[in-house]
Amino acid sequence: MVRSDHRAAQQIRDVRRRLAVQGPPRTRDRGRDFETVTLPERDCDLLRDLLVSERAETVGLAYASSALAIGEALVIVGLPHPRHVIIDPFQEGVWSNAGWDLLCAAGLDPIATLIPEPSSIALPQLVAGGLTAEAAFVDGSHRFHEVFVDLYFLRTIVRPGGLVVIDDDWTPSVRTAVHYYEQNLGWTAIPDAFAGGTRMPIGGDPRAGSVPRCRALRLPDPSFEPPFEEFCPF
């Protein structure tokens, strides 16, 4: 079990800081790969602060900046049996386990489970196994249909009134998927959660307005199934 004390949190903070300043021990052979892929440190701080009052499930590990921030939140909260489920089919093959090794260096591996499957396979299995979570962070495949499916299953996993945080809400595919859940299933954005974080132009178009790259959504409590006749185009 992770020590729910100051030293455990400090160990995670040290790994996070080193990662932000020096980058990961290895990256893919592409220019500025870490900066392009990973969640910026400031957004990770905001994610941690938000989750200190919630708990976790992650889609997409890559360089682990966000997973480390989630782990830090879990340690700060200090529940007796914290659990962090991480899904990434490419952690070994594409990322050479850089993210997982950083989680180990931070001492988070005892509470973390890495599922090396696409989320569309892993999430329904977790649902079938009865997993429940207080919160989820989604930064996996950014294809519309895969984000849509992630949110579909997380709707069952995350408890009513729990939290789903999405990265890259500025991309049309992610925004459109999220919009369905807001328009039709009562998910409500927490407006200021990432107000101090990174902003991005919608669709990458500098002429378009900018939005925070991360978006936090509260699930309705109680959960409900809308009649199909009440479908709202999104």
CB 89 → ligand SAM: shortest distance, Å? 6
CB 155 → ligand SAM: shortest distance, Å? 17
Nearer to ligand SAM, 2 or 165 (CB): 165
- Classified as helix, coil or strand, 114 is strand
Which residues in this chain contact ligand SAM in the complex, by CB under 6 A?
A: 37-39, 59-66, 87-90, 94-95, 118-119, 139-141, 146
Nearer to ligand SAM, 63 or 180 (CB): 63
Strands (E), 23-148: 58-59, 84-87, 112-115, 133-138
CB 220 → ligand SAM: shortest distance, Å? 25
Nearer to ligand SAM, 8 or 122 (CB): 122
CB 210 → ligand SAM: shortest distance, Å? 19
**215, 165 in Cβ contact below 8 A?**
yes
User: Would you report the helix, strand and coil content of the chain in percent, each value rounded to 5?
Assistant: 40, 15, 40
**47, 74 in Cβ contact below 8 A?**
no
Nearer to ligand SAM, 11 or 119 (CB): 119
The residue type found at 8 is: A
